[in-house]
Amino acid sequence: MQVPIESKPHLPSMGLTLTSMGNIMKRLSSTALAFFSLLLGTGTFIAHTALAADTIRVGHFPNITHVQGLVAQHLSRTGHGWFEERLGKDVKIDWYVYNAGPGAMEALLAGSIDLTYVGPSPTLNAYSKSNGEEIRIIAGAATGGAALVVQPDSGLKQPADFRGKTIATPQLGNTQDVACRAWLANGGLKITQTGGEAFIVPTPNPDQLSLFQQKKLDAVWTVEPWVSRLERDAGGKILLEQPKDSITVLVSSVKFLKTKRELARKFAQAHRELTEWILAHPAEAKQMVQQELAAETQAKVSAELIAQAWTRIGLTTEASPDEYRQFVANAQRAGFIRTAPDLSRLIERLN
């Protein structure tokens, strides 16, 4: 799901309201309507073309594992844009919010966005499917922050215990979904993308809590702040954590790197500076994350929840091909990748 923060339609200024435009179009003949639509489409294209040189479209998720994205979007929202100030006054940042990685990578491959904060598994899947031609990791962002949460009275302790059980993940093919499938398969269960000996149900993060509270889910493999919400609001118990695994990276389309490389370099540098600022000012950063999550999810987010989730996350700007070998193995085990891709071009340094 792609949710642009600025929801106003990009229509050329023609002195018409949407209502009056609709009335006029109803009265036009089919020939005139086709001609008018052609003009309108051209105007929209020109408007976007005029902005293309100084507009960067960036994706992220309403998860605490996307700390840099949340803080930066909060600053953009309040008129103190972190990236805007460092990239120049003529540069505009458009933020887009996604539920999970596959949707963000689809948008990146389609050219709908230029950069995105995203998990390693969707990044690897997109890299593999495009034969290494379309995307690059330009920086690391976060580690940890993911966990497998089970019902308090479930007795679930190992993969074999999950036979016949229902587990929610954020989205088919996202990092937690792939990790879940690989973990169960490595534990001896037959797992497919459509069924198997355990039922893995891709479920948007906001819906997981209520289903877990209703006992319709035996377990959830997800990320913060949803892990802490399952603990605090539903009595969930942590069975498995991934404290040192990469959870978020900053990814660019190859097209953006080719056409606006200097902007990409400046963005990566500003991302590193933002990471350093967050590490040096955790109290301020937590407050910004709390406010931004509340704005994006339209739900109350407590300071206590943020504080609890924060303890599971590590911030970084480093990304190494070595750590992706395990992600490749997981993706193959889960059936998302058949042949291990050449990782030599996955990460691009912009220093």
The reported pLDDT for the residue numbered 54 is: 84
Res 193 pLDDT > 90: no
Structure token digits, residue 336: 């998302």
CATH 3.40.190.10: which residues of the chain?
A: 51-145+245-345, 146-241
CA gap 310, 2 in Å, rounded: 26
CA gap 109, 87 in Å, rounded: 24
**Which residues are CB-contacts of 85 (< 8 A; sequence separation ≥ 6)?**
none
Instruction: Note the CATH number of domain 146-241.
Output: 3.40.190.10
Structure token digits, residue 128: 């593999």
Q: Which residue has the tokens 């802490």?
A: 228
In 3D, which of 348, 289, 343 has the Cα closest to residue 315?
289
The reported pLDDT for the residue numbered 16 is: 34
Confidence of residue 320 (pLDDT cuts 50, 70, 90): confident
Res 39 pLDDT > 90: no
pLDDT tens per residue, range 300-310:
999 999 999 99
CA gap 166, 293 in Å, rounded: 28
Instruction: Note the CATH number of domain 51-145+245-345.
Output: 3.40.190.10
Between 6-15, 178-187, 213-222, the lowest mean confidence (pLDDT) is in: 6-15
Segment 192-219 mean pLDDT: 93
- Higher-pLDDT residue of 257, 321: 257
The reported pLDDT for the residue numbered 36 is: 34
Report H helices in the chain: 18-27, 30-52, 67-77, 82-87, 101-110, 120-129, 175-186, 205-213, 226-234, 254-259, 261-280, 282-297, 303-310, 324-333
Res 237 pLDDT > 90: yes
Res 338 pLDDT > 70: yes
Confidence of residue 335 (pLDDT cuts 50, 70, 90): confident
* Average pLDDT of the chain to the nearest whole number: 85
Percent of the chain at pLDDT > 90 equals: 70
Q: What DSSP string describes 187-223? A: TT--B-SS-BSSEEEE--HHHHHHHHHTT--SEEEEE
The reported pLDDT for the residue numbered 262 is: 95
CA gap 38, 35 in Å, rounded: 5
Residue type, 100: A
Confidence of residue 316 (pLDDT cuts 50, 70, 90): very high
Confidence of residue 28 (pLDDT cuts 50, 70, 90): very low
